[in-house]
Structure 1
Amino acid sequence: MVKRNVLSAEGSLMVVKVEIEAGFEGDTDQHPEEQTCYLEKGKLEFDLAGDKKILNEGDTQYVPSNEKHRVKVLEDCVIIDVFSPVRQDLLDT
């Protein structure tokens, strides 16, 4: 299960709180917006263009524009995602 809550979408920045249950494996994602992920809680494997690393509570991950990425959730997670510019597709859902 993935639960998203848009916390802010003003100017050129968007902040989204994402809650994901352990066992979730995301599809490969790619978007023109830059993204920074802050792992507030949990543990996950982050695959950025084939380079995999484990993120633990307190870690961050930068995702450049149009870079393919995906996650595999190892423990229930709370992630704070920051996008620039605002991802309109997330506002429309």
Structure 2
Amino acid sequence: MSDVWFIEASDEGWTDLGTGVRRRVRLQIPEMMMVEFAFEAGAVGALHSHPHVQCSTVQRGRFDVTIAGVTRRLGQGSAYIVPPGAVHGVVALEPGLLLDVFAPRREDFLVG
């Protein structure tokens, strides 16, 4: 069980989502999940919603982030929270990396 608490730096485990976006699950337990999303310049995380709370931080790059109809331009070190059910999405203004935490975990990210 103790192995679920730690993960080493790696370039492994990416899933190509197409259209310039890649995702990889870094850590997960039923109550929470940490996921990285890598974006090419101009790539879009399309507007969507889900029942999970999401907390995200911009690790690299600049993004236009829209939550419930409000858009803000955020750069490295910025963060945001998406309430359950809120429609949200991003546009990468340059190559970038988002680190997202979901509660509870996104079971749909564990399939296939």
TM-score (norm: length of structure 2): 0.80
Identity %: 32
Q: Which residue of 1 aligns with 2:44?
A: 25
Gaps of 5+ in 1: none
Q: Which residue of 2 aligns with 1:66?
A: 85
Per the TM alignment, residue 10 of structure 1 is displaced from its structure 2 partner at its CA by: 1.1
Please, what is the CA RMSD of the aligned residues? Answer: 0.9
Q: Deviations over 1:31-70 (max 9, x none)?
A: 0000001100000000111100011000001000010001
Gaps of 5+ in 2: 1-19
More moved, 25-34 vs 39-48: 25-34
Per the TM alignment, residue 26 of structure 1 is displaced from its structure 2 partner at its CA by: 2.6
Q: How does 1:6-45 map to 2 (within 5 A)?
A: 6-45=25-64
- Residues of 2 paired with 1:9 and 1:2: CA distance? 21
Larger Rg, first or second structure (1 or 2): 2
Q: Secondary structure at the match of 1:89?
A: helix
Is residue 16 of structure 2 the alignment partner of residue 3 of structure 1?
no
Q: Secondary structure at the match of 1:26?
A: strand
* Bigger fraction of residues in strand: 1
Q: Secondary structure at the match of 1:28?
A: strand
User: Which one scores higher on RCO, CA 8 angstroms, separation ≥ 6?
Assistant: 1
Whichever residue aligns with residue 3 of structure 1, its letter is R
Whichever residue aligns with residue 35 of structure 1, its letter is Q
Q: Which residue of 2 aligns with 1:80?
A: 99
Q: Structure 1 stretches (4+) deviating beyond 6 angstroms?
A: none
Per the TM alignment, residue 11 of structure 1 is displaced from its structure 2 partner at its CA by: 3.7
